[in-house]
Structure 1
Amino acid sequence: MLKAHFLKVLGLSIVLTSTAAQAMSLDWSGGYRAEWVEVDKPSLTNPTERKAYGLNYLYLTPKIIAADGINIISRFDVFNSEMYPGSQLGTIWGMNTSDVAATSGNQGPATVSASQLYLSVNQEFGSLKVGRMPFDFGLGMLYSGGNGSFDHWYNTRDMVSYKVIVGDWSLTPMLGRMYANDFGQGNNQTFWGAQLQYENIEAKSLMGVYVEQKKGARTTLNYSDAQKAAYCAGATPCDVAGDMSINTTSFVIGRGWDAFGYKFEGAFQSGETGIRRGTEDVKMDGFGLAAELYFPARESKWDYSFKLGMATGDSDSTNFSGFAFNKNYDVAMLMFNHRLGGADLFNTNAVKPRYPSDQTQPDQLSVGNSADDESVGNAYYLAPTVNYTINERFNLRNTLIYAQLMNAVPNSVDAKKDLGLEWDIEVVYKPIERVQWVNQLGLLFPGEAWKNGTGTTGNKGNDFTFGFASKAAISF
């Protein structure tokens, strides 16, 4: 009798399991990345503050197919960076979290975190998304979801969005929260946005616009000391004294042909920062532009591309007119990518990460011990690239980058704007699909701007420096 009952339960379990398996499945994707980076003299003078570090990182993206058109998507980041929480930089090679590193038998555990979790409901004419999801737009100049093989940063949003699709057009209104202190109402940062986009893949045409308004209560504006100092241009007193309300308008256009293609993105920011300098409220008023031109190889082994762009700097005595690109948008291996020199020439202290986040402790990130956390700001740049396809597995790429400051720092008659010239050499090896190994050599010939003028505030150094990087990525 007991045996018969057991067989019935077992049979029912198999039936239910089989039914559930037919109704729901799990699809995995992800990627692994390992890197080694060296920068000889990021200080551009003595002491050199030389950097040499490795990174190790894995991400996994499971997608639960709950029903036809209904998916639950998440992302797990394995070996997160303790110094850059909320990034996909990875853990430093040799990082040891053991209590006594000198006598420990292992490296100690690294962290695993979930950076995304959202519901996606796909319908015939649109899709609904709810949860914490990646967000990007255009070239990734301002918003980047971190989808590149070697992207170290990402933008995510807790939001509700609905994408309406009509032919090649789409309209996506969205509403969400950027920050919340607790379960109560009022102590949070909210945003609303809308994206209108036209994209025709066959015609290689792209046109889009994104508008956003972000608001934050005074109690949620946890600016770091360095950020407040950047917004106030060093003036005191400088502190949070009001609510934040910032408007952003971005647009992108692009077109491609067999022999030529281009993409162009611009973004404009304005509004209230919530910071008060002396007796005046600091307003935001800056913009950035980025263009990319492409000349495909076609039947030749040579192809060419060209990047150019600019970002405003802080030149206003009352408002903050600086603008910073997304940290994923790399123009050069060294310039606008790693912190260099001895001054905030790019006005990017307003957005640079801080470690630890505890304001009572000194910031441990500096020129000599930070990762690639610099951004394009207060400058314009020109970056032509020549790529030679050696064979189906090897590519040789050369890029020359020239840049100048928009506003000399400090704003004095003897301060210079020339940032100099950088030459980047890359060898890209792709043994099989979804696997690539990139070796980079960057040679930087700094201009006079790095000296930051003369006198007591100048002569910070503009010595030649170089960098090397070897990095491999596998996607699956």
Structure 2
Amino acid sequence: MRTSSWSPSLSRTSIPALLAFGSSVLFSVSAAAQPAPAEPQKPPPETTAAPAQPSEAPAQPAEASPAREAAPAPSRPDEDRLVPADAPKTPPKAVASPDPDRDKRALTRQGAERPAAANAVGSRPSEVFAEDWWSQARPSIEVHGVFRTRTELFYQFALGRRDPIASALWPQPADNHYIPTAGEAQVVRLCGDDPTATPLAACEDNTQLGVNMRFRLNPEIHISDNLRIHSQFDVFDNLVFGSTPEGYMNVPAAGGGYTVAARGGYAPLGALSTTAWAPVAGQTSLVDSIVAKRAWAEYSTPVGLLRFGRMPNHWGLGMVYNSGDGYDSDWQSTVDRIMFTTGIKKYDLYFSGAWDHMGIGATSARFGEQQGQPYNLGNLDDVNQYVAIIARKRDPELQLLDLAKGLPVINAGLYFAYRSQTLANDDTSSSTNAASLGQLPTNVRLGYTRREAEFFMPDLWFQFLYKKFRFEAEAAMIYGTIENTGTTGRPSGNLTGQPSVVDVNPLDAKDVGYTVRSFGLTGQAEFRAMEDKLRLDFGFGWASGDPDVESLAPPRTGMEPQLTADRTYSMFRMHPDYRVDLIFWRNIMSRVQGAYYLRPQVQYDFSRDPNGQRLGGSAAVVWSRASEFIQTPGNKRDLGVELDLSLYFQAKDGSLNDGVDKMGGFYTALQYGVFFPLGGLDYLQGEVTRYASENGGSQLQTATAQAFRLYLGVMF
């Protein structure tokens, strides 16, 4: 912009005029450059002028805005005459009449002037304006999971007992030579320093060492704020290291089942294998390398949450229903379910109803057709379950606030399930293979028998929180009836001269079937101190036993036989992923069943950072006793005492461990356990005497079991 030269000598009367002119020009330039002019203390009359859009291109000349008439300036004293007066403004022009063509041109010009530079907001397709987000949103994917490798050494897990394999609590190692208390000897005479000796020395091995791994993925697809899909996949699900070596493969056998195929020339012996093959179900492993475990959807409505698909089932402490999603879990409760949850947020009350498909029997799926929609071949053999849940659960943030204020918090709920089945097709001995895959309805019918099973299963959960103290308990009951426990197909029903299709009490012809009455209880008490570094825990649990059943563990196949005329099953078994120790209940018995235990524990974090990194250790003692002494091998209640020690380290490099109580990133633990068997697991005196007389004075005695574990994992 060109300006004419001016003389530095100015008269006194020209200074105010010059200042007024400069102020007017400055105001005009500022108004054109800023997106929105500053609001004056006294707003002038309305105007139709809009602020110009910012642009990197040279600004276009702005149209002249109608001038506004200002109020007369107040009189000023002589000493303030150097302050310029407000510039006079021309009266506003007449408002133009509506013109659609002019408005259209203005809109076109406005669109052309929209920012289009490379760095301007909205210039790229990936950028949207706030009012258009709903039309541009795309699903987001979150992937969480855990990768773990566990080294485990088991020593004397058979507890020194020489029971036959069919009745052993824990089978002896396959390479251990021993003579059982009944049946044939397990002969392994291939050891010794002299390979030419006759006979070779007996092999003795009471140690079982192995390493296993799992890579679990939990992808989540978030379609919108109220719609999402969850899933779970396991890669190398508890794959034992070295279990699929080069050259090892199974093929279908001529008489059914599988047989090991001849090894190839490059690995004719297992000792010559140079690599590992991928797990393939039926060939190199029992399961495939990748297994889909769960998939379900969730839709949030204004009145509640709808969930449908194959999903986890967890309630309370996990004594009965346990999702098994822990970093060290091996067992799960997974259910095919349609579920709806609603509630009263004001009172922290929630109500749920669910329809579970626990088993529907045979479907129309056939080996000759892998596509299409299979359907249920019959409804009477379905195992249907209906669930009702009512719970009071305090909002997590409000719960923390209440605890910080020193207020107690109570959470509780009831999980009630009803299950029934009319007919059953559990036949495994029929020549028609009525319960096998791909059968026609004609063959399926031949496997039917009358079941008439009905169960009522309430499960109560209670939690009390106060400052640093937590008490939590769960109590459950299974109450029901089963008319028939047989599995042999009897579609023709009762026929003259043949046994009844239902279980009839031989002492009372009117007493049909069996009754189920079992109870379980578990509790946990925890107190934290020293900035939560110290944790004092006390746990207990009880599972009802059955005085008419011989063993704590069920047989490998079939129902437990009742030793008397009693018609009641009262054995209660907790979920196998509800763990209380390292050796006896976790591995030897696989779960707490028919017994009660007491478990004090102390845990201390030697180093604990707010970012989640910590180093600590724990020690626990577990004392176990049988609910019914007659079920133990030694016919005594005391089963044993176990001492478990642990040393753990949690790194800070994880997206999940943003709090001291969360686990994420790298985690490792070194654990040691020792179990001392007591009288309930000892031999009966008659067994000791008979075994000594039959085996040259050899003595029977129990042994102490030990376990060593190294856990290496990454959680994300």
Q: Which amino acid aligns with 2:477?
A: F
Task: Select 2:307's aligned residue among 129, 146, 153.
Answer: 129
Q: Distance in 2 between matches of 1:240 and 1:56?
A: 42
Task: Select 1:375's aligned residue among 570, 591, 596.
Answer: 591
Within 5 Å, give how 1:15-414 maps onto structure 2: 22-45=137-160, 49=173, 50-80=207-237, 90-96=238-244, 98-99=248-249, 100=263, 102=270, 103-110=272-279, 111-167=289-345, 168-180=348-360, 181-182=362-363, 183=375, 184-186=377-379, 187-200=381-394, 201=396, 202=399, 203=402, 204-221=409-426, 242-273=451-482, 274-275=484-485, 279-280=504-505, 281-299=513-531, 301-316=533-548, 317-339=566-588, 374-392=590-608, 393-410=614-631
TM-score, structure 1 as length reference: 0.79
Q: Distance in 2 between matches of 1:395 and 1:161?
A: 41
Equivalent residues of 2:547, 2:631 under 8 A apart: no
Q: Which runs of 5+ in 2 are unaligned?
A: 1-123, 129-133, 163-171, 174-206, 250-262, 280-288, 364-374, 403-408, 430-447, 487-501, 506-512, 549-565, 609-613, 658-663, 692-699
SS of the counterpart of 1:449? Answer: helix
Equivalent residues of 2:583, 2:707 under 8 A apart: yes
SS of the counterpart of 1:72? Answer: strand
Structure with bigger strand share is 1
Q: Distance in 2 between matches of 1:125 and 1:258?
A: 34
| Residue 673 (structure 2) pairs with residue 442 (structure 1) | yes
Equivalent residues of 1:118, 1:132 under 8 A apart: yes
Report the alpha carbon displacement of residue 195 of structure 1 after superposing the two structures with TM: 1.0
Q: Which structure would you say has the larger RCO, counting Cα contacts within 8 Å and 6 or more residues apart?
A: 1
Report the alpha carbon displacement of residue 117 of structure 1 after superposing the two structures with TM: 1.0
Equivalent residues of 1:150, 1:473 under 8 A apart: no
Report the alpha carbon displacement of residue 214 of structure 1 after superposing the two structures with TM: 1.6
Q: Which amino acid aligns with 2:582?
A: M
SS of the counterpart of 1:96? Answer: coil
**Change in CA separation of 1:271 and 1:194 when aligned onto 2, cut-off 3 Å:** same
| Residue 710 (structure 2) pairs with residue 470 (structure 1) | yes
Q: Which amino acid aligns with 2:644?
A: D
Deviates more, 1:193-202 or 1:42-51: 42-51
Q: Distance in 1 between matches of 2:356 and 2:649?
A: 41
Report the alpha carbon displacement of residue 450 of structure 1 after superposing the two structures with TM: 0.5
Report the alpha carbon displacement of residue 259 of structure 1 after superposing the two structures with TM: 3.4
Q: Which amino acid aligns with 1:43?
A: A
SS of the counterpart of 1:243? Answer: strand
Report the alpha carbon displacement of residue 193 of structure 1 after superposing the two structures with TM: 0.4
Bigger Rg, structure 1 or 2: 2
Equivalent residues of 2:413, 2:461 under 8 A apart: yes
Would you identify which runs of 4 or more consecutive aligned residues in structure 1 move more than 6 Å?
Answer: 18-21, 457-460
Q: Distance in 2 between matches of 1:383 and 1:305?
A: 8
Report the alpha carbon displacement of residue 21 of structure 1 after superposing the two structures with TM: 7.5
Report the alpha carbon displacement of residue 30 of structure 1 after superposing the two structures with TM: 1.3
Q: Provide Cα deviations, 1:332-375, integer angstroms capped at 9, x if missing partner.
A: 111211126xxxxxxxxxxxxxxxxxxxxxxxxxxxxxxxxx11
**Change in CA separation of 1:194 and 1:300 when aligned onto 2, cut-off 3 Å:** closer
Q: Count residues with an aligned counterpart.
A: 405
Report the alpha carbon displacement of residue 331 of structure 1 after superposing the two structures with TM: 0.9
Deviates more, 1:28-37 or 1:177-186: 177-186
The equivalent residue for 1:6 is none
Report the alpha carbon displacement of residue 318 of structure 1 after superposing the two structures with TM: 1.9
Q: Which runs of 5+ in 1 are unaligned?
A: 1-13, 81-89, 225-238, 341-373
Equivalent residues of 1:179, 1:220 under 8 A apart: no
Report the alpha carbon displacement of residue 175 of structure 1 after superposing the two structures with TM: 0.3
The equivalent residue for 2:646 is 426
Q: Which amino acid aligns with 1:332?
A: D
Q: Distance in 1 between matches of 2:687 and 2:136?
A: 72
**Change in CA separation of 1:125 and 1:20 when aligned onto 2, cut-off 3 Å:** closer
Deviates more, 1:118-127 or 1:303-312: 118-127
Q: Which amino acid aligns with 1:129?
A: R
Q: Which amino acid aligns with 1:323?
A: F
Instruction: Compute the RMSD of aligned alpha carbons.
Output: 2.8
TM-score, structure 2 as length reference: 0.53
Q: Provide Cα deviations, 1:93-116, integer angstroms capped at 9, x if missing partner.
A: 111164247254432113211111
Q: Which amino acid aligns with 2:239?
A: T
**Change in CA separation of 1:424 and 1:262 when aligned onto 2, cut-off 3 Å:** same
Equivalent residues of 1:189, 1:220 under 8 A apart: no
Q: Which amino acid aligns with 2:150?
A: E
SS of the counterpart of 1:322? Answer: coil
Q: Distance in 2 between matches of 1:223 and 1:400?
A: 43
Equivalent residues of 1:429, 1:438 under 8 A apart: yes
Sequence identity (%)? 20
Equivalent residues of 2:618, 2:647 under 8 A apart: yes
Q: Which amino acid aligns with 1:42?
A: F
**Change in CA separation of 1:256 and 1:240 when aligned onto 2, cut-off 3 Å:** farther
SS of the counterpart of 2:318? Answer: coil
